[in-house]
A and B are shown apart, each in its own frame.
Chain A
């Protein structure tokens, strides 16, 4: 292409010949041919990258003041809040940032599900995404343990005890994880180490995710293959500007939480220091784990509950092969689209139930919602592909947006 990066100065040429890094970035972040019909649901990739970088930068500076010791951790977080210059701001950005990160990732995943972005040839992009999500879950869980408040401590207790469900080796595994016979300072230091490490692993996976994306290129709302050149525009400036606009809106909401209600997404019990002799009345995980927590509690058996919860995430990796329909976008899948929305509602209901006590009607609803969650993937997805009669797909991504006359004019031109 004529607008490929061409080093101009002698220095640039010298470098580019030895390490064509500018060419690489220019090719992937500027000229990259992108379908011209992407909507705002496609801006969450950029937003997620922003979230990751925000967490890494705020995390780094928090780590300069935080002390990972069972006797000092809680006080060091209060020290960050009260004494460190702008410590309150940095901590609130980091804590709120975790929530914003999950809002973005859930929307990003819902987008991919709706438009069939997990289908051939993009299966690996989706699977890498599932791994990123898993690492995010682990990172956020371990981060929440660091302030060593009551929720930190008891959340860590309940979750690490999930491993005690493993037959025969359960106790050995939990003692190994704890480095003790219960949750203690030993666990805190190792969680801090891993919490520091994992975001960088996520960063590595994000690079693989984008690399895999740039082989077939973006999917698009019509879910049909695009013709390079005719249907695409360079990523810069078209999508850079669109992404930045969405990011600014996202940052306004983010800032709203940070400055006006930084604690609304957290739990007040975490401002009480960890006490190994007293369990809080209600243990609730952070909101972004609630749907999975509801699935854990829906099963009346310890090992069964753990298996169900793990499967709820693991099953996502198999979606590319569970969906039997060749049509990607739900825009052209009248029947599946309805089940898609049932799944979304089901997930939200699970989230609501995860915050309620697991008794009576809540428990029954929790079981039904869990049942649907799994049936959706195991039964609905494979079957509908055979039953459904998809709507006719457009011939090109321009077809749905052009009016009749324009199309006629265009075909006239072509003839």
Chain B
């Protein structure tokens, strides 16, 4: 009787063995995780890719109604000098109509200059300029229509064309990134 009681009591207690199991187990898990991380992280954009992450653009040759495409971080960036009508059209839109509501004012620093990443927010094709039902951009891949502010109006893309970080260095130069 006595011995059985002792064993029961010992069972209920935390033993040295339990402690060893748990610590060994947790250290192994942490160690495996720490070892796995370099193998996962090596796939992220590396230092050389990050180093190339900003570009300067000269705006002076661009006339109203024209746009240029430059390469930034391997992606095209559209820089468009909008006409008066385009600006008016972009500003007149009712926010409730939009799948991804944003005012034109929040998408530009100077209304004349629209700077955005030319990558369709659906699956990454490059939309074509001066096309589509909203006079903006049209993506031929699966038929997304963007307006003169680069906002998604129709089609499978969920979001407006992305606005990159940029600053006006002076009236004729911007720095993207």
Contact = CB atoms under 8 A, between A and B. Distances in A.
Contact of A176 (B44, B71, B124, B140): B44
Given A157-B123, A277-B71, A283 B156 contact: no
Interface string B114-125: 000001001111
Interface in B41-83: 43-46, 49, 53, 69, 71, 73-76
A306 B31 CA distance: 35
A180 B49 contact: yes
A183 interface: yes
A357 B69 CA distance: 26
A1 B40 CA distance: 53
A46 B124 CA distance: 40
Interface in A152-193: 154, 157-162, 164, 175-184, 186, 190
Contacts of B124: 157-158, 160-161, 164, 182-183
A190 B44 CA distance: 12
Contacts of A186: 45-46, 49
A160 B75 CA distance: 15
A279 B44 contact: no
Contacts of B125: 154, 157-158, 279, 283
Nearest to B127: A279
A179 B49 contact: yes
A302 B122 contact: yes
A159 B40 CA distance: 21
Given A276-B74, A279-B125, A279-B126, A302 B158 contact: yes
Contacts of A359: 143
Nearest to B69: A277
A281 B138 CA distance: 12
Nearest to B40: A176
Interface string A297-311: 100111101000000
A17 interface: no
Contacts of A305: 156
B108 interface: no
Given A158-B124, A277-B76, A279-B126, A175 B44 contact: yes
Contacts of B140: 279, 281-282
Contacts of B123: 157-159, 161-162, 164, 302
B141 interface: yes
Contact of B45 (A157, A179, A283): A179
B74 A181 contact: yes
B44 A179 contact: yes
Contacts of A182: 73-75, 119, 124
B45 A175 contact: yes
B157 interface: yes
Contacts of B43: 176-177, 179, 190
Contacts, number: 84
Contact of B76 (A154, A184, A276): A276
Interface residues of B, number: 26
Interface residues of A, number: 36
A302 B49 contact: no
Contacts of B143: 357-359
Contacts of B53: 181
B45 A183 contact: no
B126 A183 contact: no
A403 interface: no
Nearest to A172: B44
Nearest to A70: B74
B155 to A, nearest CB: 8
A39 interface: no
Interface in A287-339: 297, 300-303, 305
B140 to A, nearest CB: 6
A301 to B, nearest CB: 7
Nearest to B157: A302
A279 B141 contact: yes
B142 interface: yes
B142 A276 contact: no
A180 B124 CA distance: 14
Interface string A197-239: 0000000000000000000000000000000000000000000
Interface in B18-47: 40, 43-46
A141 to B, nearest CB: 14
A297 B71 contact: no
Contact of B75 (A154, A164, A276, A282): A276
Contacts of A180: 45, 49, 73-74
14 contacts: A154-B125, A175-B44, A178-B45, A179-B43, A181-B49, A181-B74, A277-B76, A277-B126, A279-B141, A281-B140, A301-B156, A302-B156, A305-B156, A358-B143
Given A182-B119, A183-B124, A303-B158, 7 more contacts: A158-B124, A160-B124, A179-B43, A181-B45, A190-B43, A357-B143, A358-B143
